[in-house]
A and B are shown apart, each in its own frame.
Chain A
Amino acid sequence: MTIEAPDAFSGGKTPHFEETARESLADSQLRRNLGKATQTIRRKRAVAVEEMPDWERLREAGRALKSRTLRHLDEYLLRLEESITRAGGQVHWARDGEEANRIIAGIARSHGAGEVVKVKSIATDETKLNEHLEGEGIEAFETDLAELIIQLAGETSSHILVPAIHKNRSEIRELFMQKLGVEDLSDDPPDLAEVARLYLREKFLKAKVGISGANFAVAETGTVCVVESEGNGRMCTTLPPVLVTLMGIEKIIPTWQDYEVFMQLLPRSSTAERMNPYTTFWTGVSEGDGPQEFHLVLLDNGRTEVLADEIGRQTLNCIRCSACLNVCPVYERTGGHAYNSVYPGPIGAILTPQLVGIGKSGSDSLPYASSLCGACYEVCPVKINIPEVLIHLRGKVVRHKQDKGGLKGKLDPENVAMQAMAKTFSERRLYEGAQKAARIGQWPLARSGAIHRLPGRLAGWTDARDLKPIPEQTFREWWRSQNGSGEGA
Chain B
Amino acid sequence: MIREILRWLGYATIVYFIAMQTYLVLLALLSGAALRRNHHLRRFGRVGEMLSSRTTPPISIVIPAYNEEAGIVDAVRSMSIVKYPRFEIVVTNDGSKDATLESLVDAFHLEKVKIPYRPDLESMPVRAIYRGRSGVDITVIDKENGGRADALNAGINAARYPYVMCTDADVVLDPECLVNSMQRVVEDRERTVGVGGNVRPLNGSRVELGHLIEASVPRKLIPRMQILEYVRTFLSSRPGWSWMNALPNVSGAFGIWKRSVLVAVGGFTRGHLGEDMDVTMRIHRYHLERGLPYRIVYEPSAVIWTEVPDTVRVLRRQRIRWHRGLMTSIKDFMSLTFNPRYRQLGLISWGGFFLFEYLAPMIEFVGWFVVPTAWLLGILNTTSLFWMVLVAFGMGLMNSLLALLLDESYGYFNSAADTSRLVVMAVIENFGLRQMTVLWRIRAMIGGRGTQAWGNMERRGVANLAKQS
Q: Do A and B come from one complex?
A: no
Q: Which residues of A contact B (CB under 8 A)?
A: none
Q: Which residues of B contact A (CB under 8 A)?
A: none
